[in-house]
Amino acid sequence: ADLKDHGFIGEGMYGKVNKMQFKPTGKMMAVKRVRIISNRNDDHDTNTSMKQVKNEINAIRSASKCDEIVQFYGVTFNEGDCWVCMELMDASLEQIYIAVHGPALQWNFFDELVLGSIAVSAIRGLDHLKTQQNIIHRDVKPSNILMNANGRVKLCDFGISGYLVDSVAHTRDVGCRPYMAPERLQAQASYDIRSDVWSLGITMVEICTGKFPYGEMFDMPLFKLIETVVDHDAPLLLDTNYNFKTTMFINSLLIKEVNERPDLKQLMECEYFVYHDELQSLQEHVANFVQKVLPEVEPIPQ
């Protein structure tokens, strides 16, 4: 009752995202409504498990604020739906790259400084989750990296999907584009942070070229899709439009052998990261870029 709906933003596998206003304070936020599917018919069990989900999700609320992570406000339950309330951003990287490569702009090229900023923010965000909250993201892809007209790049949807009820969790990767690293698809050992590094590499190749690097796979059976990622060479960025340093950096994320792939610490020490991290005017550059790609959005006064 405290939320006023301001319209639909987007839809994913688990539910819909709307722009909503928290009436007591006037604050705008993004609210993701996820249907909780229970395997059990027992109401008592469902209520207990919802309570548990709520407690667990609320526990991952950021204790320390991080500029590279979408702020999490909390969850509430409403008629069997779980409402996840979070910071409202202006667009996902998916929307941005589709606009950049699309018919209106046709740039055929993604701004290289913005790429640098995306890399730095994603790596910082992943590092914050890991070191401060002991969370591994597990779902890095263009729609889970959000941008705003103030030039900020932030990660969202970490952890939360892992808390959803079993039946949802098991179907989550079927029919989806595989951003997952080869070692994940082969179900080797425990989850390594370097699997997220791979997913970031796939994401960066996709935004550079305007296409998912393995091609469209919607009708492909699951085993075929896994085989493609596991058996084929990594889908490296080969586009000569991009400068050598950008290409080298992105392709280093896509080293197939997990033990040879850099981890977050190594990435944060590399020249490409340090250069963009120290670039004074980068946030302003990204802000101008977002406003050019999405002229309808306005920066939030800071």
Question: Could you say whether residue 86 binds ligand ADP (CB under 6 A)?
Answer: yes
Question: Could you say whether residue 95 binds ligand ADP (CB under 6 A)?
Answer: yes
Nearer to ligand ADP, 86 or 282 (CB): 86
Instruction: State which of positions 15-54 bind ligand ADP (CB under 6 A).
Output: 15, 17, 30, 32
> CA geometry: angle at 35 spanning 31 and 41, to 5°?
150
Nearer to Mg ion, 144 or 148 (CB): 144
Q: How far apart are CB 187 and ligand ADP at their closest, in Å?
A: 22
User: Under a CB-based contact definition with an 8 Å cutoff, are residues 246 and 112 in contact?
Assistant: yes
Instruction: State which of positions 192-211 bind ligand ADP (CB under 6 A).
Output: none
User: Under a CB-based contact definition with an 8 Å cutoff, are residues 245 and 119 in contact?
Assistant: no
**H-helix or E-strand spanning residue 84:** strand 81-87
Q: Which stretch binds Mg ion (CB under 5 A): 62-70, 101-109, 136-144, 272-280?
A: 136-144
- Identified catalytic residue from 90, 139, 173, 192: 139
Q: Which one of 20, 36, 57, 88 is in contact with ligand ADP (CB under 6 A)?
A: 88
Q: Is 5 a catalytic residue?
A: no
Q: How far apart are CB 206 and ligand ADP at their closest, in Å?
A: 13
Compute and round to an integer the Cα radius of gyration of the chain. 19
What is the DSSP secondary-structure string of 107-168? --S--HHHHHHHHHHHHHHHHHHHHHH-------SGGGEEE-TTS-EEE---SHHHHS-HHH
Q: Which of 67, 69, 54 is nearest to 157 (CA)?
A: 69
- Count of beta carbons in the 10 Å neighbourhood of residue 239: 15
Q: Which residues are catalytic?
A: 139
Residues that bind ligand ADP (CB under 6 A): 9-15, 17, 30, 32, 70, 86-89, 92, 94-95, 143-144, 146, 156-157
